[in-house]
Each structure stands twice: as C-alpha cells, then as structure tokens.
Amino acid sequence: MGKGRLEAFSDGVLAILITIMVLELRPPHGTELSALRPLMPVLLSYILSFVYLGIYWNNHHHMLHATHRVTGPILWANLHLLFWLSLVPFVTAWVGENHLASTPAALYGVVLLMAAIAYWILQRHILRAEGPQSVLALAVGRDTKGKLSPLLYLLAIGAAFVRPWLADALYFLVALIWLIPDRRIERAMTGVEPSRRGAGGAA
Amino acid sequence: MGKGRLEAFSDGVLAILITIMVLELRPPHGTELSALRPLMPVLLSYILSFVYLGIYWNNHHHMLHATHRVTGPILWANLHLLFWLSLVPFVTAWVGENHLASTPAALYGVVLLMAAIAYWILQRHILRAEGPQSVLALAVGRDTKGKLSPLLYLLAIGAAFVRPWLADALYFLVALIWLIPDRRIERAMTGVEPSRRGAGGAA
Amino acid sequence: MGKGRLEAFSDGVLAILITIMVLELRPPHGTELSALRPLMPVLLSYILSFVYLGIYWNNHHHMLHATHRVTGPILWANLHLLFWLSLVPFVTAWVGENHLASTPAALYGVVLLMAAIAYWILQRHILRAEGPQSVLALAVGRDTKGKLSPLLYLLAIGAAFVRPWLADALYFLVALIWLIPDRRIERAMTGVEPSRRGAGGAA
Amino acid sequence: MGKGRLEAFSDGVLAILITIMVLELRPPHGTELSALRPLMPVLLSYILSFVYLGIYWNNHHHMLHATHRVTGPILWANLHLLFWLSLVPFVTAWVGENHLASTPAALYGVVLLMAAIAYWILQRHILRAEGPQSVLALAVGRDTKGKLSPLLYLLAIGAAFVRPWLADALYFLVALIWLIPDRRIERAMTGVEPSRRGAGGAA
C-alpha cells in the first residue's frame, strides 16, 4: 500500500487545521489601532498553535519520508493523531478568548499531551513495521525530545491551576525546544543521511 | 485516465469534511470545567462522524489502490458518494445539538444509509471495469460487512423513533464492526496480498 | 513546467468550494421533520451547485489530462476560472435563502456565464499551446455543449426577471445536458481514445 | 528530502486561504440589486487579495520548480511565509468592512510587506542551497520587482494615514506590476528556459 495518499490526506487535514484557526481572528468593529488590542491574546494563541501544527507537519513529513511500509494499524494510528490535532483550533479559540484562565490553559495542554501520545503510538507502529535496524529507528534514537515534551505538558497542566502564565510559558518552551535544531542529534545523524535529521518525535 | 486526480480530489473533500465538523465545537463562554459539559454530546457526535469518515477514507483508499481503470461512470459514482458524505457535518451538527431527539438521530442514519448505497454503487462500477477475476473482486468477496451495515442502519432509523439511544448504539456498533479487523476475511486474503485486506465495502 | 501543481491547486480549490457550501445548511432549531422544510430550497440550490462544480472538476480533469504544456497565460486563465467558481457558494447561498427571487436567480446565471467564459478562455489558451492537430483539439471538436450553455445562461438571466422558476429550470437543464453522455461525440471520439470523451467544454 | 510534500502542503494552505476569503461575502438580506451595493468594497478587497494570493502561488510554483534540495531551514522559511499569508483573509475582511479607513488600509500593507520579506527570506535560503550558478539564481537575477514591491508597500502604509485611497491604488499598482510580464527579464531568460520566467521574487 502506497504512503502517497496517507501523506496527501494528512497534509490536507493539517493544512485545513492550520488555516481555519485564522477564522477566529475576527476583524474588530472599530478602525483604530487600539481596536486591535483585544485581539492580541487571540493572535498569540494562533501563533503558538500555528507553530505546533507546523512542528507536527515537519516531524510527520520526516517520519513518513523514512517509512517504507504502510499497514492498517499505521493508517488508524495516523487518523488517531489527526483527531487530537483537530481539537487544536477548539482549545486555541478557548485560550484566545479567555487569556490567563486556568481550565482553558490546562485543556490546551491536555490536547497537546494526547497529540504527543498519539504521535508516539504512530511512531511505535511505524518502527515495528520498519524494524530495529532501519534508518528511522537510528534517527529516532533515544527520542529525548519526544520523552521530555509529555513531562513538560503534564507540568504545564498542573501549573495552569496555580499560575496560568506559567503554563503558557511552558508551551512556548516546548515549541522552542522543537524549533531549535539539536546539534548533538544532528552530528549522530550525519552518519545516516542529513535529511533524516529530526525524523522522530512528536512536539 | 489516471486515478491520481480522483484520489486527490476525494482526499481533499474528505479532509475538509472531517475538519469542518470541528467548527461546530464552539468554545464555551465560561472558563470552568463544567462549561464544557453541554459540549459533550457535540464532541461525541463529532468523534462518531470522525470515525465514520475515517472508515470511508480507509476503504476508499484500499478500493482505489486496487483499481486500474477509471471510467466516466466511476467519476460520477465517486462524486455521488462525496455528496452524501458532505451531508455528514450537517446531520452531525443537528444530532450534536439535539441529543437523543428522534428525527435527528433517524436522519443521521438516513445519510449513513445513502452513503453506504453510494459506496456500493461506486464499488459495482469499479468491479465491472476490473472484471470478476480481479484482485478487487476477490478482496470484496461476499462483502458481509457491506451487506450487514445497511440493514443495521435501517434498524437504527426505526429504533430512533422508539428509543433514540438505541439508534446511537447501533451507529457505534456498525463503526466498531468496521474498525475491528475481520480475521476470517484476513486469512482468505493472505492468498491475495495482505495490503488488499478490507479493500471492499462501505461503512 | 509541470501540470501537477496546477491540477493539485485546482483540485484543492474545487474541493473546498464544493464543501464549504454545505456550511450554509445550518441545522434547524426544532427537532421535527417539519423543521427541515425551510431548508429544502437551500438543499436544492446546494445540490445544483454541487453538480455544477462536479461537472467543472470533471471537464477540467479531462482537459488537463490531454494537456502537455502549461504556460504562464494558462496559469492565469486557470486562476481566472477559479475566481468565478469561487463566487458559486456566495450566489448559491443568496438563491437558497431567497427562493424564486428574481435578482438572486439572475446573478446565479451571471456567475455561471462568467465561469463558462473563463473556461472557454482557458480552453483557448491550452488549445493554442497544444496545436490544432492535438488530441485535445479533436476531442473538443465543434464544442456544441460549450457554445449552447452560455446561450441558455443568457436566456435564464432574462427569464429570472419574468418567471424565476424558469431560470432555475434552465440551470437544471444545462446541468442535465452535461451529465448525459453525448453518444454522437462519444462515437467520434472512439477513433481517438475512449477516456478523452468529454475533454472539452465548460458547463 | 522530496519537495513534493512541501509543494502539496503549500498548495493546500494557499487553496484554503484563497477560498475562505469568500466566506466574508455574506449574501445580503434584501433581494434587490441595490442590496449588493454595500458588498462592493468587500468584493473589491476580495478580488485584490485573490490576485495577490494567486501571484504568490504562481511565484512559489516557479521558484520551487527550479529548486532541487529542500533543507530544514527552507521548510521553516516556507511555514513563515504561509503564516503571513494566512493573515491576508483577516486584513482583507477588515479593509472590506471599513472601506477607506486609515488603519485597516495600513495594516493590509504591513501584512503584504511582511509576506514579501518572508518570501525574500525563503528565496535566500533556497538560493543558498542551490548555489550562485543555479538556474534559479540566474532567473531571479537582480530581482527588480522583488526590491520595488516592499518600497511601494512602505509608501502605501504611510499614504494610508493621509489618503487611504492612495494606499489602495498602490496595492493595485504592485499587483499590476506582477501581473504584467516583464519583457526585458523574459528576453534575458530565454537563454535559460522559457518556463523559468518569473521564477523569483515575491509580490
């Protein structure tokens, strides 16, 4: 079974998710610059979610590039990941409209946590099909980022009920960890193939 | 005529359908966890429809993978299927907003029934073009699931007017039947090719 | 320049257009079957526009299948066609909400007319690039349907101000003309290649 | 790493952006022709943004056609460009609802300016990966249009606070500059390959 349609369908869903979030950015009624101020938290949460979906697309892209066999369980694990990512616009809108409120900030983390778990499940299924000596298994390696992210999400979910801004800061931190290329991993990967860099791990 | 664009267009429509349903999940006005409670039926109907569209994408993917010739009638049978699937977000929203109401629950079943019939018509046209000795004809076989589903939909439509929750339960049951791999069919298929498993039949 | 991305982009836009129209089908507040009655004109105009966009996708598919060179003017003629088609959801919504009103019915025809002209321009540019002896030029032939449709649209636009239902009937008629395969053209085409049938002409 | 998915994802996002803008064109309540008059500024800003996104798709198409290596920074520079383009529907809606108001007209220019800068960054990364002797480097050349556009945007942003219509006129002018093929560049390019014409530069 070709992976082409799996990639095409995932690209389609991710492209729509990343774009429909902008529908929350409703033009203000006033025409002064100050009329844009209430939109700032909405814009910030849009940017954060845009970056997260971008990271997922990027990692998904790399992982499937190194995938050779697509099995039934992989198809369903992929749909499971897309399901959790499809809730990102919903929690983004709730956080954007209720800046620094505890429950929305925590739920944002829950959705990110579930997406990370779904990505990990998808990765397990692909690694099982590819085998332990595959390029992907080498590229994923110890998957430090993939193990650190869920812990930081859990921390952020707890922090949301004490200091909501701390939860937001942790979400930005995780995004940053994924955006900054990991030099050590990169070096280990040069033995494999440069383009495989960052193939593994969910945000 | 290549099947590439038919797959691309169907993927596009299915990706949009599966994603725009999430627009019904409007963030609540409150910020308490209890503010999410009224959203539960909306979320549940979203999950059910997400799974159904996922099953259709999955089966469509398999069926077209085993298709070699795309004729004019196949193009139109495919559009006919997409039409009925395009009504899924509408009935999902109606069911989500009117939990356990008879007519919405019945109409949900009518749309699923029509989509199943449309899938069956598409399958007939493809089988006619492929021939009775094709891999696809073998994979579809007696198409037990494909014949059972419409009967269960009919049962659910009737049940909706007596016990709406029974209709919902039947919709979940049909989804489950499609999600659980059929070991017997699988064994029969190993003589063909493992990836063809589940190639035939609509949800 | 490859035609792959032109097809992919057009497929994307057409898939979105055909799908966002369903967002106009808002679930009614009541839960009785009678609550659906006011939605009937909206559903009917949705079906009509779904069929028209399906015809355009179908014809576009065939025409580009027979296209070998994509030039700059072809790219822009294609975007011009997509622009007019992008107004279909707007006029569909206006017609759906104002059943049998003159101006909406006429504007629906104006958008169809402009789309037909845009398709004709695109076809001219492709035919110029392909040459008069190309498969496409043979398939398009005298382009009876492509010449008849604009005349019927003009008639419908005029009729909308006298008998709006007559305009609607004419729109259904044109869709029917495109849906029914033209046996005579088909026979002429068998000398070329069966899959090229219906390659030319706008709805 | 293949560029296929980068193109597919960008096509998806651009197709959705160009299409969701039409959702702002809400059907009027009246059914008279005069009921459409208040929609004229919305329609005009829709057309302008449609043309801009069309130019970006066109240029992106050409640039990636001449690209052979896709690196990590290119993926992120591309997402950065898509981010700014994703704000186009928002500013289009604000301008459309507040015709000839200063701040919306200026913000429209800011988003166009940032998109042009993002395109320039993407182009720099691709040129670095392709090398100074690549077809793309030759095609981009001195990039007169790419350098002129940001200056005109800056001028328009300033003009918006004095004469908003002047800002609008400048946005139309920049679009026109990109739409009209540059004969001089074209001649220089014939030594390369006709299809590469206009490969470089953002709107």
Q: Check if the beta carbon of residue B143 is closer than 8 Å to that of residue B182.
A: no
Least CA distance to C2: which residue of chain D? Answer: D65
Q: Check if the beta carbon of residue C175 is closer than 8 Å to that of residue C187.
A: no
Q: Is D103 on the interface with C (CB under 8 A)?
A: no
DSSP H or E segment with residue B185: helix B183-190
What are chain A's partners, defined as 3 or more CB pairs within 8 angstroms? B, D
Instruction: List the structure tokens of C180.
Output: 């029914």
Nearest CB partner across the interface for D1, out of A8, A22, A195:
A195
Q: Is A32 in contact with D93 (Cβ distance < 8 A)? A: no
Residue identified by tokens 């992008």 is C86
Q: Is A90 in contact with B19 (Cβ distance < 8 A)? A: no
* Model pLDDT, residue C182: 57
- D176 Cβ contact partners less than 8 Å away, ≥ 6 residues apart: none
Report, as ranges of residue numbers, the positions in chain C whose pLDDT lies below 50. 184-185, 192-200
- Of D58, D190, D73, nearest to D129 (Cα)? D73
- Of C103, C149, C122, nearest to C64 (Cα)? C122
As a whole number, mean pLDDT of residues B21-31 equals: 91
Least CA distance to A18: which residue of chain D? Answer: D13
Query: Over B52-96, what HEC string results?
Result: HHHHHHHHHHHHHHCCCCCCHHHHHHHHHHHHHHHCHHHHHHHHH
Report, as ranges of residue numbers, the positions in chain D whose pLDDT lies below 50. 184-185, 192-200
DSSP H or E segment with residue B179: helix B164-179
CA–CA distance, D31 with C13 (Å, rounded to integer)? 28
Q: Is C83 in contact with D47 (Cβ distance < 8 A)? A: yes
- B4 Cβ contact partners less than 8 Å away, ≥ 6 residues apart: none
b/e string for C113-150 if b means 16 or more Cβ within 10 A? bbbbbbbbbbbebbbebbeeebbbbbbbeebebbeebb
D143 phi/psi in degrees, rounded to 5 = 55, 50
Instruction: List the structure tokens of D151.
Output: 């200056």
- C151 Cβ contact partners less than 8 Å away, ≥ 6 residues apart: none
* Model pLDDT, residue C181: 66
In Å, how far are C127, C184, D33 from C135, measured between CA atoms? Answer: 10, 17, 44
Q: Is A180 on the interface with D (CB under 8 A)?
A: no
Q: Is B16 on the interface with A (CB under 8 A)?
A: yes
* Model pLDDT, residue A164: 94
What are chain D's partners, defined as 3 or more CB pairs within 8 angstroms? A, C
Q: For B31-35, B45-49, D35-39, D141-145, which range has the lowest pLDDT when averaged over its residues?
A: D141-145
DSSP H or E segment with residue B160: helix B144-160
- What is chain C's alpha carbon radius of gyration, rounded to the nearest angstrom? 18
CA–CA distance, A178 with A158 (Å, rounded to integer)? 22
DSSP class of residue B34 equals G
* Model pLDDT, residue C143: 83
Q: Above 70 in pLDDT, residue A203?
A: no
* Model pLDDT, residue A107: 97
pLDDT over 90 percentage in chain A: 63
What does chain A look like in DSSP terms, one character per residue? --SHHHHHHHHHHHHHHHHHGGGGSPPPSS-SGGGGGGGHHHHHHHHHHHHHHHHHHHHHHHHHHT-----HHHHHHHHHHHHHHHTHHHHHHHHHHSTT-HHHHHHHHHHHHHHHHHHHHHHHHHHHHH-TTSHHHHHHTT-HHHHHHHHHHHHHHHHHTT-HHHHHHHHHHHHHHHHS--HHHHHHHHTT-GGGTT-S---
| Chain segment A156-167, per-residue pLDDT in tens | 999 999 999 999
- B9 Cβ contact partners less than 8 Å away, ≥ 6 residues apart: C11, C14, C15, C57, C61
CA distance D32 to chain A (A): 26
Q: Pick from C9, C16, C19 the residue to mutate for testing the B interface (most B CBs within 10 Å).
A: C19
Burial of B155 (0-12, 13-18, 19+ CB in 10 A): middle
Instruction: List the structure tokens of A13.
Output: 């869903």
Residue identified by tokens 């897309």 is A82
In Å, how far are A23, A40, C83, C117, D123 from D54, measured between CA atoms? Answer: 20, 29, 10, 19, 18
Residue D80 or A134, more confident: D80
Residue C203 or B38, more confident: B38
Contact list, C8 vs chain B (CB under 8 Å): 8
Q: Is B79 in contact with C54 (Cβ distance < 8 A)? A: yes
Q: Quick check: helix, strand or coil at residue B2? A: coil
CA distance A141 to chain B (A): 29
Instruction: List the structure tokens of A104.
Output: 């929305």
| Chain segment B104-157, per-residue pLDDT in tens | 999 999 999 999 999 999 999 999 988 888 888 887 777 888 889 999 999 999
Instruction: List the structure tokens of D69.
Output: 């290596």
DSSP class of residue B3 equals S
DSSP class of residue B166 equals H
CA–CA distance, B13 with C103 (Å, rounded to integer)? 31
Query: Over chain C, what HEC string results?
Result: CCCHHHHHHHHHHHHHHHHHHHHHCCCCCCCCHHHHHHHHHHHHHHHHHHHHHHHHHHHHHHHHHCCCCCCHHHHHHHHHHHHHHHCHHHHHHHHHHCCCCHHHHHHHHHHHHHHHHHHHHHHHHHHHHHCCCCHHHHHHCCCHHHHHHHHHHHHHHHHHCCCHHHHHHHHHHHHHHHHCCCHHHHHHHHCCCHHHCCCCCCC
DSSP class of residue B27 equals P
* Model pLDDT, residue B202: 57
Largest Cα span, chain B: 60
* Model pLDDT, residue A97: 92
CB atoms within 10 A of CB D61: 22
CA distance D27 to chain C (A): 5
- Of B93, B85, B104, nearest to B161 (Cα)? B104
Q: Above 50 in pLDDT, residue B34?
A: yes
How many A×B Cβ pairs under 8 Å?
80
Q: Check if the beta carbon of residue A141 is closer than 8 Å to that of residue A166.
A: no
b/e string for B110-126 if b means 16 or more Cβ within 10 A? bbbbbbbbbbbbbbebb
Contact list, D34 vs chain C (CB under 8 Å): none
Q: Is A18 in contact with D101 (Cβ distance < 8 A)? A: no
Q: Pick from C3, C5, C71 the residue to mutate for testing the D interface (most D CBs within 10 Å).
A: C5
| Chain segment B85-105, per-residue pLDDT in tens | 999 999 999 999 998 899 999
What does chain D look like in DSSP terms, one character per residue? --SHHHHHHHHHHHHHHHHHGGGGSPPPSS-SGGGGGGGHHHHHHHHHHHHHHHHHHHHHHHHHHT-----HHHHHHHHHHHHHHHTHHHHHHHHHHSTT-HHHHHHHHHHHHHHHHHHHHHHHHHHHHH-TTSHHHHHHTT-HHHHHHHHHHHHHHHHHTT-HHHHHHHHHHHHHHHHS--HHHHHHHHTT-GGGTT-S---
Q: Above 90 in pLDDT, residue A174?
A: yes
In Å, how far are B156, C4, C103, C105, C173 from C149, measured between CA atoms? Answer: 44, 29, 20, 16, 10
What's the first-to-final CA gap in chain D, in angstroms? 27
How many CA atoms, within 13 angstroms, populate the side-chain half-sphere of residue B31? Answer: 18
Residue identified by tokens 């019927």 is C152
Q: Is C17 in contact with D16 (Cβ distance < 8 A)? A: no
Q: Pick from D3, D10, D11, D16 the residue to mutate for testing the A interface (most A CBs within 10 Å).
A: D16
* Model pLDDT, residue C91: 96
Residue A186 or B42, more confident: B42
CB atoms within 10 A of CB C26: 11
Q: Pick from B78, B82, B103, B107 the residue to mutate for testing the C interface (most C CBs within 10 Å).
A: B103
- Of A6, A145, A17, A19, nearest to A83 (Cα)? A17
